[in-house]
């Protein structure tokens, strides 16, 4: 066969081949899954998430309430009972009695807390203007400070990871108003004495993301560089910095 003949033969056969192909397709389509069946192939039915409910204060049913009718969830870091003032569900620093910590120990958590700095006294400024703090695992401080129109080093203002990470914005409300922190914390992981993975923290201040999966560099030191030292689950700690800062509606969900 010469080339022309081959080409014309192929040209003649092409519609037949095409026809043969289309004749096979109905059989394939019979085997094809419906759209619903296709969608079902990627559906996962287990595990079913636990169903939560909420109390009047909006606390989810699987949360551990940390500030209740008494101070039984807390003790002094120094020794003995927590000596802060608890009245009508509001826990206030009793200056000079020292930091307090939870009896329970936590690793990865979601933490909700509301806090309030009182009206500043005359002359209060910077880090002295109603300072407290929330120490995750007793080591990593999320700063509590009246940072409303109060200049200080930004890596030490409210919602900073103290001396490590400046908040993305200043979401402070005025002194006397309640502020909210919603904190999602992933604890550092250790392999023996070695750091396997640093801690990470997301902080939402008054509904605004101010720390977005921030890597924690180690302990939050006033002086010196942060450092990691191997530890396990540990209490949450609130700071007595000598000021009448209050806390309420504090709850935690281990993750
Ligand atoms: Mg502090």
Whether residue 15 has pLDDT greater than 50: no
* pLDDT tens for each residue of 238-254: 999 999 999 999 999 99
Please report the pLDDT score of residue 85 as a whole number: 98
Q: 98 and 229 in contact (C-beta within 8 Å)?
A: no
On average, the pLDDT of the chain sits at 91
* pLDDT tens for each residue of 53-85: 999 989 999 999 999 899 999 999 999 999 999
Q: What is the distance in A from the centroid of ligand 1 to the CA of 150?
A: 15
Determine the average pLDDT of the residues in 233-241: 98
Q: 113 and 180 in contact (C-beta within 8 Å)?
A: yes
Q: What is the pTM of this model?
A: 0.85
* pLDDT tens for each residue of 181-220: 999 999 999 999 999 999 999 999 999 999 999 999 999 9
Q: What is the distance in A from the centroid of ligand 1 to the CA of 160?
A: 10
Q: What is the distance in A from the centroid of ligand 1 to the CA of 189?
A: 25
Q: What is the distance in A from the centroid of ligand 1 to the CA of 62?
A: 29
For residue 210, the SS3 value is strand
Q: What is the distance in A from the centroid of ligand 1 to the CA of 142?
A: 8
Of 122, 82, 13, the residue nearest 238 (C-alpha)? 82
Q: 159 and 167 in contact (C-beta within 8 Å)?
A: yes
| Residues β-bridged to residue 81 | 75
Q: What is the distance in A from the centroid of ligand 1 to the CA of 51?
A: 37
- Report the percent of the chain where pLDDT is more than 90: 86
Q: What is the distance in A from the centroid of ligand 1 to the CA of 156?
A: 8
Q: What is the distance in A from the centroid of ligand 1 to the CA of 58?
A: 27
Q: What is the distance in A from the centroid of ligand 1 to the CA of 224?
A: 16
Looking at per-residue confidence, does 9 or 224 come out higher? 224
Q: What is the distance in A from the centroid of ligand 1 to the CA of 175?
A: 16
Q: What is the distance in A from the centroid of ligand 1 to the CA of 240?
A: 8
For residue 105, the SS3 value is coil
In this structure, whether the domain defined by 64-254 belongs to CATH 2.60.120.560 is answered with yes
Please report the pLDDT score of residue 32 as a whole number: 86
Whether residue 2 has pLDDT greater than 70: no
For the chain, residues classed under CATH 2.60.120.560 are 64-254
């Amino acid at each position: 066969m010469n080339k022309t003949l081959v080409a014309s033969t192929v040209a003649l056969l092409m519609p037949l081949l095409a026809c043969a192909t289309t004749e096979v397709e109905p059989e394939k389509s019979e085997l094809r899954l419906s759209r619903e069946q296709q969608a079902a192939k990627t559906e996962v039915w287990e595990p079913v998430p636990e169903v939560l409910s909420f109390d009047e204060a909006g606390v989810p049913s699987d949360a551990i309430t940390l500030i209740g009718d008494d101070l039984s969830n807390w003790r002094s870091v120094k020794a003995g009972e927590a000596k802060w003032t608890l009245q009508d569900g509001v826990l206030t620093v009793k200056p000079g009695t020292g930091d307090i910590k939870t009896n329970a120990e936590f690793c990865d958590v979601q933490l909700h807390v509301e806090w309030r700095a009182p009206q500043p006294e005359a002359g209060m400024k910077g880090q002295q203007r109603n300072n407290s703090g929330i120490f995750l695992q007793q080591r990593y401080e999320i700063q509590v400070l009246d940072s409303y129109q109060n200049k200080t080093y930004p890596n030490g203002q409210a919602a900073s990871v103290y001396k490590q990470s400046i908040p993305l914005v200043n979401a402070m409300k005025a002194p006397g108003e309640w502020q909210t922190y919603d904190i999602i914390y992933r604890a550092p992981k250790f392999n023996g004495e070695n750091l396997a993975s640093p801690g990470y923290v997301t902080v939402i201040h008054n509904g605004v993301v101010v720390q977005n999966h921030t890597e924690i560099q180690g302990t939050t030191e006033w002086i010196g560089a942060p450092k990691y030292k191997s530890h396990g689950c540990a209490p949450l700690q609130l700071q007595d910095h000598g000021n009448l800062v209050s806390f309420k509606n504090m709850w935690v969900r281990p993750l």
